[in-house]
Amino acid sequence: MSIYPLRSSNLRSRRRASEAREFQVMFLLAFLIFLAAGVIRRLFHPFDKNSYRNPLIAEAKAAANTCLPFAFMN
């Protein structure tokens, strides 16, 4: 039995782990950007009824989850 399939499997798992870490870092950066944008929007439009329907953190998380997968499409 050859050990080469084990090596390629190990390489794939390391690649997946690397991509997962890259996704986490990009998600954190996108989340912070959208959070800052949400804070600024709420500062300039303090009496907008629709802006207080959803929590600010939930809006930033949803925006990051919506746009970030497009960066990983092949």
- Reported confidence tier of residue 62, pLDDT bands at 50, 70, 90: very high
Residue 54 DSSP label: S
Give CA–CA dist 70/74, Å, rounded.
9
Supply the DSSP string of 8-36, one letter for each residue: HHHHHHHHHHHHHHHHHHHHHHHHHHHHH
Give the domain ranges of the chain: 20-72
pTM metric for this prediction: 0.72
Tokens of 63: 């925006």
Q: What is the pLDDT of residue 64?
A: 93
Average pLDDT over residues 49-61: 81
In this prediction, what percent of the chain has a pLDDT beyond 90?
39
